[in-house]
Amino acid sequence: MSTMKQIKVLLVANVAKGHVNKFHIPTIKYLKSKGWHIDVACSLDEDIPFADNVYGMSWKRSPFTFKTLKGIVELYQLLKKNQYDIIYCHTPVGGLVARFASIPFRKHGLKVVYFAHGLHFFKGSSILSWLLFYPMEKLMAEFTDMFITINDEDYERVKKKFNRHMLVSKTNGIGANFNRLDIKNPEKIRQEYRNKLHIPIRSKILIYVAEINNNKNQQMLIKVLKNLRSKNLDVYLLLVGPDYLNGRCQQLSAKLQVQEYTKFLGWRNDIGELLSASDIYVASSKREGLAINLVEAQYAHLPVVATSNRGHLAVIKNNENGILVPIDDYSSMADQITTLMENPDLYKKMANVDVSKYESVKVASEIYECLYDVLKNQQ
């Protein structure tokens, strides 16, 4: 490989708004700072900044649709037109399309790197997830030069069970953009936002930032709130994220008579302000890759109480930098929140955690090293 040759990378993912712009802008900027050429191919639902070229594709979020087949053809034509050095793919649909389309080009030197944000099959996942995703990923690994993981469970499984000839690596997640969380005059913002939300300054606020869906399991948090309110604790719950359950969580909060204390805020771009207004970060998900939302909460000096899944375990050491409870155990979570509220020293300890290793530029540097390593590897 000539040192004068510009490296050309095609980043492939499912969508722009919910993925590329959310996770990959720092990496795109970092790779370009190294003189690399970066194109992006995805389903376009908003503009993508900083990339050299952006290509809109037909596929959607799920890999199991006709749109995926059409996307493979589209991507094949793009690879045929442009001579890339690396195809860097993300998400199940992006990984499937990219690795199928790249098969004819690998013999000409194209390197294929797949970044798993958390495999859909894991200890405790459904049989259906194993039946659908495990065979697909095992097959696709045969057409992969490097497989990047973000937690220990995925790393060990890929290393032991998948293509023994590919490189396997692990990074500290996909990176957290802490700049967007920095708030001037946090006390003023705290008061302003509580006024907007109609929450008294003395009340305690629990917050969770995530899509409302079955995996994120917000129903558990509504039960936690009911448990705490039944103990006459002055607590509110903020659920921040788009609703993919068609109002079922709102119905549950009404059924449990805590709708007055549950705020469904939808998608927001003022996460730093909302974290500043809150007191404890709660996370109820059943599955995560590496939970950057926990890292962002810790950066904002919020103690974290979360369910014990592999992605949360990648961030939290129980009772050291956060508190873990069993999945779906709302009673245990309520007890741990009560302990935090009643113990100022414990609260202070859990609210002051070093998360610098997850900063987006540092992780972008790790990703750059992975991509550079795969170029050097001649397997």
Give the CATH number of the domain where residue 282 resides: 3.40.50.2000
> Does residue 15 sit in the same domain as residue 139?
yes
Q: In what order do the strands lie in the sheet with 262-266?
A: 262-266, 235-240, 204-209, 280-283, 304-307, 323-325
The total number of structural domains in the chain stands at 2
Q: What distance in Å separates the CA atoms of residue 307 and residue 336, rounded to the nearest whole number?
A: 11
> What pLDDT sits at residue 135?
87
Structure letter (DSSP) for residue 280: E
Is residue 163 a part of any domain in this protein?
Answer: yes
Which pLDDT band holds residue 67 (cuts at 50, 70, 90)? confident
Amino acid at 189: I
Question: Where do runs of H (alpha helix) occur along 278-315?
Answer: 292-299, 310-313
Strand ranges in 44-194 using DSSP code E only, listed in sequence order: 53-56, 86-90, 111-115, 146-149, 167-170
> Does residue 234 sit in the same domain as residue 258?
yes
**How do residues 124-171 score in pLDDT, each as one tens digit?**
778 888 888 888 889 999 999 999 999 888 999 999 989 888 999 999
Domain hosting residue 103, numbered range: 8-175+359-376
> Does residue 342 sit in the same domain as residue 195?
yes
**Above 80 in pLDDT, residue 123?**
no
Is residue 79 a part of any domain in this protein?
Answer: yes
> Does residue 167 sit in the same domain as residue 316?
no
Q: What distance in Å separates the CA atoms of residue 147 and residue 90, rounded to the nearest whole number?
A: 10
Structure letter (DSSP) for residue 174: T
What is the average per-residue pLDDT within 53-82? 88
What is the average per-residue pLDDT within 350-365? 94
Q: What distance in Å separates the CA atoms of residue 163 and residue 144, rounded to the nearest whole number?
A: 8
**Above 90 in pLDDT, residue 290?**
no
What is the average per-residue pLDDT within 189-193? 97
Is residue 244 a part of any domain in this protein?
Answer: yes
> Does residue 135 sit in the same domain as residue 92?
yes
Which of 23 and 225 is assigned the larger pLDDT?
225
Q: What distance in Å separates the CA atoms of residue 2 and residue 19, rounded to the nearest whole number?
A: 33
Two structure tokens written together for 270: 């003022």
**Above 50 in pLDDT, residue 1?**
no
Is residue 2 a part of any domain in this protein?
Answer: no
Kindly report the average pLDDT of the chain as a whole number. Answer: 93
Q: What is the pTM of this model?
A: 0.82
Is residue 220 a part of any domain in this protein?
Answer: yes
Side-chain half-sphere CA neighbours of 143 within 13 A: 20
> Does residue 372 sit in the same domain as residue 296?
no
> Does residue 150 sit in the same domain as residue 117?
yes
